[in-house]
């Protein structure tokens, strides 16, 4: 429970914080931030969350209850990681004591990136090696097996794109072209490849 804690961070008495957490970050009961994990400022690390040595979490990130972030996973600023979200970091996991085969352990770690402002719904599973683009929305229960473009909404197992979402989180009601978010008024230009441009309301 030793910790590198800047001013104004909060650590619940039943949490374990051994890594570095930024100013204004709160860590709640039964959560565990391991040594050599890095968590930015103004984050909310909820009950039973786990952040492993080597994981990197940006500023203003919400890690909901029971979510697990491993070595090799990088979480950008302002990301929402929903309850029970399971990241992975090994595409061919075997228990360490297995076998005695020739398998090299070099290169077992497959990195994953979640870009700024993205949201990952509750119970989603993120297979190692993907990039989840900025402001994307992974639906609750989705199993993400390949890259998610910025602003994409993906759902299902395996997760497939079913639309685009605004920075504010609301669904945009077109597949391509120019549109205005009905919720916040931001404007977007969308092509077949994704969001080309946007403007604040």
Pick between residue 3 and residue 62 the one whose CB is nearest to its own copies. Answer: 62
- Contact between 121 and 138 under an 8 Å Cβ cutoff? The reply is yes
**Dist. CA 114–CA 130, nearest whole Å:** 8
Least separation in angstroms between residue 104's CB and its own copies is: 8
Q: Interface with its own copies by CB under 8 A: which residues?
A: 14, 16, 29-30, 32, 42, 44, 47-48, 50, 59-62, 65-66, 68, 78-80, 82-84, 86-88, 92-99, 101-103, 117, 119, 121-123, 125, 127, 137, 139-141, 143, 155-158, 165-171, 183-186, 200-201
Q: Is the dihedral of CA 133, 124, 68, 6 positive or negative?
A: positive
Shortest distance, CB of residue 86 to its own copies, whole angstroms? 4
Our CA dihedral for 62, 67, 69, 75, rounded to 10 degrees, sits at -30
CA separation for the pair 167, 138 (Å, rounded): 13
Q: Between 91 and 196, whose beta carbon lies closer to its own copies?
A: 91
- In DSSP terms, which residues pair with 158 in a beta bridge? none
Task: Provide the minimum distance between the beta carbon of 156 and its own copies in the complex, in angstroms, as a whole number.
Answer: 6
> Which one, 7 or 97, has the nearer CB to its own copies?
97
Q: Which of 19, 155 has the CB closer to its own copies?
A: 155
Q: How far is the CB of 128 from its own copies (least distance, A)?
A: 8
Rounded Cα gap, residues 88 and 50, in angstroms: 13
Count of CB atoms situated within 10 Å of the CB of 66? 19
């Amino acid at each position: 429970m030793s910790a590198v804690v800047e001013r104004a961070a909060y650590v619940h008495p039943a949490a374990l914080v051994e890594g570095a957490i930024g100013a204004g970050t709160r860590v709640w009961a039964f959560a565990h931030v391991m040594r050599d994990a890095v968590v930015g400022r103004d984050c909310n690390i909820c009950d039973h969350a786990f952040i492993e040595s080597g994981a990197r979490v940006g500023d203003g990130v919400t890690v909901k209850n029971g979510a697990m972030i491993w070595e090799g996973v990088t979480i950008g600023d302002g990301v929402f990681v929903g309850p029970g979200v399971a990241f992975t970091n090994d595409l061919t996991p075997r228990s360490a004591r297995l076998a005695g085969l020739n398998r090299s352990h070099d290169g077992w770690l497959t990195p994953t990136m979640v870009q700024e402002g993205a949201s990952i719904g509750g119970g989603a599973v993120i297979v190692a090696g993907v990039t989840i683009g900025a402001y994307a929305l992974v639906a609750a229960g989705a199993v993400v097996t390949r890259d998610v473009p910025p602003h994409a909404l993906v759902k299902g197992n395996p997760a497939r794109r079913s639309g685009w979402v605004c920075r504010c989180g609301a669904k945009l009601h077109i597949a391509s072209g120019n549109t205005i978010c009905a919720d916040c008024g931001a404007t977007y230009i969308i092509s077949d490849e994704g969001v080309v441009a946007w403007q604040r309301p």
